[in-house]
Structure 1
């Protein structure tokens, strides 16, 4: 069995961050979102992985090749993103006649995919999808089940009037018949080849489509708020691992990387992850904060936020619920230190 992980697209909902980096590489708890998907498929025993790349493909290739994965990984260029089913068309030669799992690289599943894969294989389905109840089904592909809840009647992509609150999670299991389905559908009103239409084709032609329900949490990290939510959920599971000596006051579960210097005037209240070679002075690092490598924070309070590597934040007052890109500089000019919520793209400079 193979895996097809999608790491293309423009990530327009995450601008300005995605003007300069691929959305699946934005870190959550100091790990690129894409890496969670790769780890899940390897955990499930899959050792052949194709990664769909598009804009910023060089970044994706460099990041993935920088890790010694227990799998063979190939990169497949999609070009213009034209829908999830289009990604399968592009990967046709790579996938061959093997069963495969398609995993959207901006999704994070706490429970992984092991049990869902077991259901797909054990039920001898032609396809199997993951579902979760959501409060806003109109933003997702949605499923309508039969009255007894055992079979799928139909799938609708981002419906104006959702038939249920059961949304498709971004993980799909397929047998090779999906290639016939993908080749048979036409672009939707969004001018995309929808995976929901391909799965509906399977249902309409008598193929067996199973489903499983996600029991843990699932995050589609398409917006800044979703990324911060995922960061909170992952940090809830961390264990303390402090690789430095410091006189800082540390409370709760905290991870601190090698080479980081933190002075005695700093307070850290976990869960918090701090990367390597950071400098933190006279600061308060509050719960649900992830700080990347080579970050400088001085005379600042920061909480419930993500700070990417190489950034410098000095005399910035209080920052909350913020997503700060790589190489950003934030300094205090003449303003008073009110609390701020920020989404700042890479290599920006902000004078408060």
Structure 2
């Protein structure tokens, strides 16, 4: 069995971060989202992995390498443009051959991994197996309709009037019959080859399509709010570890990780928090659910429920929260200017100004 990991896509919902970085490499708890997926695949006993890459291919290659650090054998599959999930399967045909495979979206996060799902698929081998979860607004997802006995009877991509609240999670398992299905579908109104259409083709051909409704945690980390929520979830599982320097004037409370080479000086850190190597926190407060990457500086500031990427600094800022701050960013106080009101008032106006 192989895996196909999708790491192309423009990541428009995470701009401006993704103007200069692959969305799959944005870190949660100081580790790239993509790495969690690769570790889940390795834990499920799959070693051969094809990674579909697009405009950010060079950055993905540099971060993942040959896959050996994950216990994987990585093959990169270039995709000229992100033309849909079914298109990714189409261009990976030679690599996948006649093997069963799991398709994993590289910007998705699933607590608990996929080992049980893979084992079930290996046992039963339906034509396709999909993961579903209940969502509050299914219009933003692929949506499944189930029959009376729980069988999948229909799929729609981002429907205006969803027939259920069951959204497809970004993990799919297929036997080689999917290759005929992806060749049979035509571009949708979005101009993409939709995997939902390919799976619907299997359903129409009376092939067995099974579903598993997951009760655990899943997120598509496509926007800032979801990134921060995933970061919170991962940090809840960290264990306290102080490998760096914390001076006598500082206090660390709860599940705090201070990596080797990091320094906390005259500051208060309330976990769960991760502080990366080479980072300095001085005269500051770092609050719960915050990840600070390597070689950052937090000086005379407060930061909480945020992600700070490497080589960035926050100095002299009263408080920052619910924020995602990119690499090589400087956040400082603005110069003081006199307070004033600028007015253009018509005749007979009446204005009240609080002073």
- TM-score bracket for the superposition, by shorter chain length: over 0.9
8 A Cα contact 2:245 2:261, kept in partner: no
The answer for the alignment partner of 1:257 in structure 2 is: 259
**Following TM superposition, by how much is the alpha carbon of 1:335 offset from its aligned partner in structure 2, in angstroms?**
5.8
User: Match of 2:189?
Assistant: 189
2:304 paired with 1:287? no
In the TM superposition, what is the alpha-carbon distance from 1:117 to its structure 2 partner?
Answer: 1.1
1:273 aligned residue: 274
Q: Quote the residue 1:350 is aligned against.
A: none
Q: Is the 8 A contact 2:127 2:207 kept in 1?
A: yes
Task: Output the TM-score relative to the length of structure 2.
Answer: 0.92
Residue equivalent to 2:125: 124
The structure that has the greater radius of gyration is 2
1:204-247 Cα deviation digits (max 9, x unpaired): 10111111121210010010101001000111111111102313
Q: 1:226: which partner in 2?
A: 226
Could you say what secondary structure the match of 1:317 adopts? coil
Q: CA separation in 1, counterparts of 2:2 and 2:207?
A: 21
Q: Which residue of 1 aligns with 2:302?
A: 301
Are 1:55 and 2:55 counterparts? yes
Runs of 5+ unmatched residues, structure 2 = 338-355
Q: Would the aligned equivalents of 1:111 and 1:215 in 2 still touch at CA under 8 Å?
A: no
Q: How does 1:100-249 map to 2 (within 5 A)?
A: 100-149=101-150, 151-247=151-247, 248-249=250-251
* RMSD of aligned Cα (Å): 1.2
Distance 1:126 1:331 in 2: 56
Residue 35 of structure 1 is matched in structure 2 by: 35
Q: Distance in 1 between matches of 2:86 and 2:224?
A: 26
In structure 2, the residue corresponding to 1:316 is in which secondary structure?
coil
The offset of 1:175, in angstroms, is 0.3
Secondary structure at the counterpart of residue 68 of structure 1: helix
Offset of residue 141 of structure 1:
0.3
CA contact (8 A) 2:273 2:287 kept: yes
In 2, the alpha carbon distance for the partners of 1:335 and 1:53 equals 47
CA distance in 2, matches of 1:322, 1:108: 20
Alpha carbons 1:241, 1:254 under 8 Å: kept: yes
Classify the secondary structure of the residue corresponding to 2:303.
strand
Q: Provide the residue aligned with 1:2 in structure 2.
A: 2
Unaligned regions of 5+ residues in structure 1, if any? Answer: 337-352
SS of aligned partner of 1:297: strand
**Counterpart-to-counterpart distance in 1, 2:42 and 2:135:** 28
Counting matched residue pairs gives: 334
Cα-to-partner distance string for 1:307-331 (whole Å, 9 max, x where unaligned): 0000011001100000000000111
Secondary structure of 2:331's counterpart equals strand
